[in-house]
């Protein structure tokens, strides 16, 4: 049977996979990258496929699905290869008595994908705990050691790696703290779950357990039996505007280095698309998660074309209501809306 991106991504849509490689060590990753770069073949690097939607025609070129598994804890420094499962790293560091990653528990995907969109949750973002990365430059064929200043973090879910096939993240080093107390908890719902004041701390293992429980209640932990989790996470990015239109004056707002950031989930819900919306729209194969308005979910049998049609419907409804055009947060390959 032909392997498709529906088999490799968490939204479970997408057509045939070209030539798939699954390198299990970093030397294998580097050898492959050098070979593909030399041959000039189109390349798609992927991890867990949890932030990726590929078109129904698939990707005809080379696909490298990272599976490199080197992992090392040296004092407060933690180095993991791009193919290590993200949550395994979080779990191992919490068990080793290190604080820093606990709020990022339960995020799907692999280590290499984390800096690409500077993943974040419950008030922590990856760049706050990153020390350095090994990056393969496909233009020069060189492996380089990068510090944070080169990564282009700073704005919501941004980095120089995003939608840029020049650089491949090969491994990541985190600087954590040996401590029995977590980072300060600034996220209200998490503080409430832990029964502490906002800004207070708790044991990292307790924070991890509370985060996993909260995520599960929101359909943000992968579960093959739960269609609310058949998604690419947050499908739309929170828009950052120089000026907020009058029609959106009631929208909560946050300052961002580029302007004012608005929560896309609020815009979607206030435009009339409630959680769960979509079951009786179109052919009903795609709907908003019943627990999270930002997640477009595959209810079973969806194609990428169905997802794109639904995404355009939501985007246009938000634009008609507020005059604000929202765009994708996840990476779209050979598809658009
Ligand atoms: C249920 C659910 C919940 C989620 N919750 C969150 C959340 O709380 N916070 C959050 O920030 N995100 C969340 N996400 C999104 C997603 O899990 C993260 O963005 C994750 O880091 C993606 O990693 P991945 O390995 O799956 O990347 P993939 O989806 O495989 O790839 C994503 C992009 O990164 C590129 N890429 C992957 N690996 C590399 C590499 N080694 N070098 C260069 N480029 C690479 C790919 O080419 C692609 O463009 C969620 C997703 C789902 C499905």
Question: What's 277-332 look like in SS3?
Answer: CCCCCCCCCEEEECCEEEEEEECCCCCHHHHHHHHHHHHHHHHHHHCCCCCECCEE
pLDDT tens figures, 28-55: 999 999 999 888 889 999 999 999 999 9
CA of 248 to the centre of ligand 1 (A): 30
Q: Which of 44, 49, 50 for a ligand 1 pocket mutation test, highest count of atoms within 8 Å of Cβ?
A: 50
- Say whether 234 is catalytic: yes
Can you give the pTM of this predicted structure? Answer: 0.95
- CA–CA separation, 195 vs 172, rounded Å? 33
β partners of residue 116: none
CA angle 48, 333, 101 (to 5 degrees): 30
Q: Which atom of ligand 1 is nearest to the CA of 83?
A: 41
What pLDDT, in 10s, does the model give residues 295-333?
Answer: 999 999 999 999 999 999 999 999 999 999 999 999 999
- Cβ(87)–Cβ(133) below 8 Å: no
Say yes or no: domain 71-217 is CATH 3.40.50.150: no
Residue 278 clears pLDDT 70, i.e. is over it: yes
Between CA 31 and CA 78 the distance in angstroms is 24
Choose the residue to mutate in 11, 26, 46, 114 for probing ligand 1, maximizing ligand atoms within 8 Å of C-beta. 46
Region 76-84 average pLDDT: 98
Q: Are 175 and 138 in contact (CB under 8 A)?
A: no
Q: What is the mean pLDDT of residues 191-210?
A: 97
If you measure from the C-alpha of residue 16 to the centroid of ligand 1, how many angstroms do you get, rounded to a whole number? Answer: 20
Cα Rg for the chain, rounded, in angstroms? 20
pLDDT value at 108 more than 70: yes
Region 61-72: mean pLDDT is 97
CA of 6 to the centre of ligand 1 (A): 16
Indicate the average pLDDT of the chain: 95
Nearest atom in ligand 1 to the alpha carbon of residue 114 is: 21
Pocket test for ligand 1, best of 36, 68, 109 (most atoms within 8 A of CB): 109
pLDDT at res. 258:
82
Domain spanning 5-65: CATH 3.30.43.10 = yes
Atom number in ligand 1 closest to CA 220: 1
How much distance in Å is there from the Cα of 35 to the middle of ligand 1? 25
Six token digits for residue 214: 């909260």
Residue 78, token pair as written in the block: 């933690």
Give me 265's structure tokens: 């989930």
Residue by residue, DSSP assigns 72-85 as EEETTEEEEETTSB
**Ligand 1 atom, smallest distance to 170 CA:** 41
Q: What is the pLDDT of residues 161-178, one digit of tens each?
A: 988 889 999 999 999 999
- Tell me if 184 sits within 8 A of 200, measured CB to CB: yes
pLDDT in tens, 221-259: 999 999 999 999 999 999 999 999 999 999 999 888 888
Active site residue 182: no
**157, 183, 215, 275: which one is catalytic?**
157
Q: Enumerate the domain spans of the chain.
A: 5-65, 71-217, 227-333
Domain 227-333 adopts which CATH fold? 3.90.78
Model confidence at 155: pLDDT above 80: no
Spell out which residues line ligand 1, taking CB within 6 angstroms.
10, 45-52, 66, 82, 107-110, 112-114, 116-117, 119-121, 161, 168-169, 220, 222, 229, 231-233, 331
**Is 178 one of the annotated active-site residues of the chain?**
no
How much is the pLDDT for 38? 83
Q: How far is the CA of 44 from the centre of ligand 1 (A)?
A: 14
């Amino acid at each position: 049977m032909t392997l498709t991106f529906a088999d490799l991504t968490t939204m479970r849509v997408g057509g045939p996979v070209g030539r798939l490689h699954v390198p299990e060590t970093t030397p294998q990753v580097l050898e492959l990258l050098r070979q593909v770069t030399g041959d000039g073949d189109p390349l798609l690097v992927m991890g867990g496929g949890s932030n990726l939607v590929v078109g129904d025609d698939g990707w005809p070129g080379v696909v490298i699905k990272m599976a490199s598994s080197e992992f090392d804890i040296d004092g407060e420094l933690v180095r993991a290869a791009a193919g290590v499962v993200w949550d395994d790293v979080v779990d191992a560091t919490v068990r080793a008595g290190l604080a820093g990653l606990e709020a990022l528990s339960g995020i799907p995907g692999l280590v290499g994908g984390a800096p690409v969109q500077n993943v974040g949750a419950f008030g922590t973002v990856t760049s706050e705990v990153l020390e350095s990365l090994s990056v393969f430059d496909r233009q020069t064929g060189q492996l380089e050691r990068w510090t944070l200043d080169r990564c282009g973090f700073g704005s919501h879910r941004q980095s120089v790696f995003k939608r840029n096939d020049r650089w491949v993240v090969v491994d990541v080093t985190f600087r954590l703290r040996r401590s029995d107390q977590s980072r300060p908890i600034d996220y209200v719902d998490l503080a409430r779950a832990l029964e502490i004041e906002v800004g207070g701390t708790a044991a990292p293992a307790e924070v991890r357990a509370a985060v996993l429980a909260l995520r599960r209640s929101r359909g943000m932990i992968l579960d093959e039996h739960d269609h609310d989790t058949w998604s690419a996470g947050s499908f739309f990015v929170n828009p950052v505007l120089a000026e907020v239109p009058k029609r959106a004056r009631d929208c909560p707002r946050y300052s961002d280095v580029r302007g004012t950031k608005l929560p896309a989930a609020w815009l979607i819900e206030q435009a009339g698309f409630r959680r769960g919306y979509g079951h009786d729209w179109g052919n009903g194969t795609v709907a908003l998660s019943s627990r999270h308005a930002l997640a477009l979910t595959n209810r079973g049998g969806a194609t990428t074309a169905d997802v794109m049609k639904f995404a355009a419907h939501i985007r246009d409804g938000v634009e008609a209501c507020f005059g604000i055009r929202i765009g994708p947060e996840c990476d779209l390959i050979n598809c658009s809306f």
